[in-house]
Structure formats: C-alpha cells, structure tokens
Amino acid sequence: MDPLARIRAIWLDLPESTERPSHGSPTFFVAAKKAFVYYLEDRHREPGTTIWCPAPLGVQSELVAAEPTRFFVPPYVGHRGWIGVRLDVEPDWDEVAEIVRDGYRHVAPKRLSALLT
C-alpha cells in the first residue's frame, strides 16, 4: 500500500475529519477547520514523502533528537511544535498512526478527542 493510502486509512477512523488540497498537497482537517496532517512529496527542502503533524509539547524535540533520520522540524510550522515524519525511511506504521492521532487530538475540540479510544 502506498504511503498516502496508509495515511488515508488512519484518517478514516478519526471523527469529523476531512481531506482537501492545501498548497497543492493532500491535507487532513478536523471539523473542516484545523489541519492535523500535511502530506508532502519532495517539498520544502525535504526529499521523498513526508507528513507534518502537530505534536504535544516536548515530543518534537524528543523524536528529532532520538531519530533524526526519521523525524525533523518542518519549516513554517516547526516553531509551533509540529513534527515532520519521513515516510520513505522504513516507517513504523503503528507509530505513524499514533503520531497522526496525537496530531488530531492536539487540534480537535474536546468533544471529538473524547471519541477516540
């Protein structure tokens, strides 16, 4: 399964999430308002396929320090704690799913976050 199909499969389980292009790339939103995943291919000085997701405080620095070949600070949103994930470096799809869900929880209204198991 290609990376975008895998991200879409993760996204389908999240309440009131939608997909639409943003800046020419597939982007996933909660309640049609706040982005929680940007899917990018060979964009913004990062070769290959990546996703950018918001992350809880401290997670970005922890992941980048632990595995800089898999994780990076994305431009434009990195200063707000978002994490970049390289999907062309043998991703752990369970970990990617958790990062996406954490990103969703980070921006979703409490009523929607509470629906996640």
pLDDT at position 116: 86
Q: Quote the pLDDT of residue 108.
A: 96
Per-residue confidence (pLDDT) for residue 90, from 0 to 100: 87
Total domain count, the chain? 1
| Cβ-Cβ contacts under 8 Å for 85 (sequence gap 6 or more) | 50, 51, 52, 53, 70, 71, 91, 96, 99
Residue 36: per-residue pLDDT: 96
pLDDT of 68 reads 96
Provide the pLDDT for residue 22. Answer: 93
pLDDT at res. 63: 97
- The pLDDT value recorded for residue 42 is 82
Residue ranges of the chain whose pLDDT lies below 50: none
Determine the structural domain holding residue 12 and report its residue range.
Answer: 3-113
Question: What is the predicted pLDDT for the residue at 38?
Answer: 95
pLDDT confidence of residue 18: 95
66: CATH: 3.90.1150.30
